[in-house]
Amino acid sequence: MNQNLYHYILTIADTNLILGQRLGELCGHGPSLETDIALTNISLDLIGQTRSYFQYAASLFDEEKTEDDIAFLRKEREYRNVLLVEQPNTHFGYVMARQFLFDVFHLMFLRELEISKDETLAAIAKKGIKEASYHRRFSSDWIKRLGDGTEESHTKIQEAVNNLWRYTNELFQMTEADVAMVTEGVGVDLEALKEPYYEAVSEVLKEATLEVPERKYFQKGGKEGIHTEHMGYLLSDLQYMQRAFPDMKW
């Protein structure tokens, strides 16, 4: 099995999976019916993309492996998602700030992955771009509405952006698998996305009358399996049915 390709796929897929799980927690708890449904649909989009990645990852194994095995039967340290997406739904401002900071990156990333020499990854990216475009538009609009809204909404969304900013730099961290896949023409050069990412994010924040954080310290570790304290609780919910009823079939 190509270990670098496998770990490369996991980093992409796990990030989508964990964010999808976080958004799924909000089903029935949105501030309005329209927003509730929109966030649930974004969750389903991300998990749908995750399935495609995991199906590809499972096919790399010599022994029989399924997408469910990869999704549900790994331990916390075996997940490779970035720390940003595992942060809790503290309040609606955090939900939208987290989504926005990810969406800007995700759309840029998929547009580059679409030209990968790996036909499977390129096809998954091409299919996901339309969804990611909507996700970015949705979250960007909410950043502007909250930032340029009431005094309370402005304060809360600024707080969320400030606190989540520390996790953004990890999006561009190049792992050993990333470097190997870029060399083979399969992966995306994440470092090349960094400058345009922060420019795009800053443009929206300024339009929303928000301040761009000047934090110099960034937190990382998720891509190496070192997660925040929130990850274990999230996985206990995500994996409960599979752990309680092993090999269950619907």
Please tell me the predicted confidence (pLDDT) of residue 1. Answer: 65
Tell me the residue range of the domain where 7 lies. Answer: 3-244
User: Maximum CA pair distance of the chain?
Assistant: 57
Please tell me the predicted confidence (pLDDT) of residue 132. Answer: 98
Please tell me the predicted confidence (pLDDT) of residue 168. Answer: 97
Q: Is residue 48 part of a domain?
A: yes
Please tell me the predicted confidence (pLDDT) of residue 117. Answer: 97
Q: Is residue 249 part of a domain?
A: no
Please tell me the predicted confidence (pLDDT) of residue 245. Answer: 87
Q: Is residue 111 part of a domain?
A: yes
* Phi, psi torsion values for 195, nearest 5 degrees: -65, -50
Q: Is residue 39 part of a domain?
A: yes
Residue 130 CA to residue 210 CA, distance in Å, equals 28
What CATH code is carried by the domain that includes residue 17?
1.20.1260.10
In a 13 Å sphere around the CA of 114, the CA atoms on its Cβ side amount to 14
Please tell me the predicted confidence (pLDDT) of residue 139. Answer: 98
What's the structural domain count of the chain?
1
For the packed helices 119-147 and 33-59, what is the interaxial angle rounded to 10 degrees? 160
Q: Is residue 250 part of a domain?
A: no
Please tell me the predicted confidence (pLDDT) of residue 65. Answer: 87
Chunked mean pLDDT (size 10), the chain, 250 residues: 92 98 91 89 97 96 87 94 97 97 98 97 97 98 97 97 97 97 97 98 98 90 96 94 79
User: What tokens appear for 191 in the block?
Assistant: 């470092």
Please tell me the predicted confidence (pLDDT) of residue 250. Answer: 60
Q: Is residue 40 part of a domain?
A: yes
Residue 64 CA to residue 3 CA, distance in Å, equals 16
Residue 172 CA to residue 194 CA, distance in Å, equals 6
Q: Is residue 180 part of a domain?
A: yes
Please tell me the predicted confidence (pLDDT) of residue 64. Answer: 84
pTM above 0.85, yes or no: yes
Are the CB atoms for 82 and 19 separated by under 8 Å? no
Q: Where are the alpha helices (DSSP H) in 114-172?
A: 119-147, 151-164
Q: Is residue 133 part of a domain?
A: yes
